[in-house]
Amino acid sequence: MKQELIDIIEQMKGQRILVLGDMVADIYLDGRISRISREAPVLVLEQADEKIVAGGAANVVNNIATLGGQVFAVGLVGLDSAARGLKEILEGNGAHTQGLFCDEKRPTISKTRIIAGGRATVSQQIVRIDKESKEPMTPAFESNMLQYINKLLPKIDGVVLSDYGSGTITGKIRTSILRHCKERGIPSIVDSRYAIHRFEGVGYVKQNDAELAAAVGRELRTEDDLYDAGQELLGELKAQGVLITRGEKGMVLFEDNGAIHDIPVSDKSEVYDVSGAGDTCVATVILALAAGVAPAQAAELSNIASGIAVRKLGTATVSAEELGRFMKS
């Protein structure tokens, strides 16, 4: 079985994946505590460092690129430093960014974390500043994006819809993509934080256990509750599979043929940060499915990749080489 999974890593390389969704710039401003301000009882920080990290759908793009896929990012950005930083990161890993449309009237979605520390204190986040437009995408940008997607789709092996609730995946674009995937037998997967019910007809669904509980509208207190909810969501969305991530309890994959696969975590040691582990999971699953791998094996490999990601601080990527080394160890 281990050798089979190692072989899949090679098969994933070069698969052409379209990622559509809410591209987020995670910005970290690191400051050293200087003094208390005279203007108000607040800390004065001297900025020491600024770093931009790919977040949201952009982190899925990044993970697909580092895992060896040929990835095409599609989304909206602004005309600002966050967009420039995001493009630089993605292009640095070989991602195609021609599908990142620039709307000068809206900012790039960003989450800026202010990190403060001193010589004798541990650095910690003291505040987060979120920036995004609440206005819907204009018809002109929707039309241009749809035109780009339709031109690209015939060359694509798999599709990711990464929905963080910021409105990039409009109804018209969603319908067009899912129809194409169904007609051509192209694997698709959606990761939607707040509106999973909008994606009826998608191939595969990824949710964490809290999102699943919200989707079915009830608490999931027992294993039976979770299994019932997973099968309920599978039926409602008419999907081929629903993958539920459960933190330290691993994953459960529900397939439309009735099969249920309970996948324990690959390694419980050294869990530093779960930020972005779901993006690593989605990236691995879609690459494996695009390569023609069975859903259960795709989920198992994604579980291992996510296990590597959580041992890194912040939203992290996992490379094909890292995954291969871990499998051989």
Query: Residue 3 has which token pair?
Result: 């050798």
Name the maximum alpha-carbon separation found in the chain: 67
Query: Residue 55 has which token pair?
Result: 């977040």
Structure letter (DSSP) for residue 193: S
Catalytic residue among 22, 26, 103, 279: 279
Query: Is 26 labeled as catalytic in the residue annotation?
Result: no
Query: Residue 157 has which token pair?
Result: 């092996």
Query: Which three-class secondary structure state does DSSP give residue 243?
Result: strand
What whole-number distance in Å separates Cα of residue 40 and Cα of residue 281?
Answer: 45
Cα 80-82-85 angle, rounded to 5 deg:
115
232 contacts 216 by C-beta, under 8 angstroms: yes
Please count the CA atoms within 13 angstroms of the CA of 171 that sit on its side-chain side: 3
Backbone angles phi, psi at 278, to 5 degrees: -65, -35
Beta carbons within 10 angstroms of residue 195's beta carbon: 12
Q: Would you give the distance in Å from CA 15 to the centre of its chain?
A: 17
What whole-number distance in Å separates Cα of residue 216 and Cα of residue 211?
Answer: 9
Tell me the catalytic residues. Answer: 279
